[in-house]
Structure 1
């Protein structure tokens, strides 16, 4: 659960290096926040997060809970609630993230 809190802290502070460092080199993000997008690999993650930090800064944590394969949390981004689900490898790095507006 600490990794998810670290993720949100890095996102909220706009720390690109820290947030990308939380992902495994082969990580995948499935983002439904602004239309369906799939991001794979470290270089693509860096580009995704660089743009995301500029366009959609995160605000406060709404909810954090264990999920079947990792953790799930809801946070506020530009006045809307977003749900993010995470899966981790054995070293604690994010290997998969799925996010999108909370319906």
Structure 2
């Protein structure tokens, strides 16, 4: 839902998005899936799917261990998730019934 991205952009301290990564992911070029898929496909739930590109080759493999997670990335993600949660809880759109189709979102790079 575009409104979720509006809340994201206006509340998180370190916003970032990549249109290239999104296109590569959706095309199947990046051999990975998202943990969010089950909620999207079966629950029809909207949300924000966060991912790290550093060490992306180990994602969901036997090499995917906690010591490979850069501490800075973990801190930035935690900061963003906490701020986004506060922003979503304060948003009037959270009470939206879901009957209105806002269309397909457009992804773009945010430095």
TM score, norm. by length of structure 2: 0.25
Name the one with the larger helix percent: 2
Which structure exhibits the higher relative contact order, with contacts defined as CA atoms closer than 8 Å and separated by 6 or more residues? 2
Larger strand proportion of the pair: 1
TM-score by length of 1: 0.27
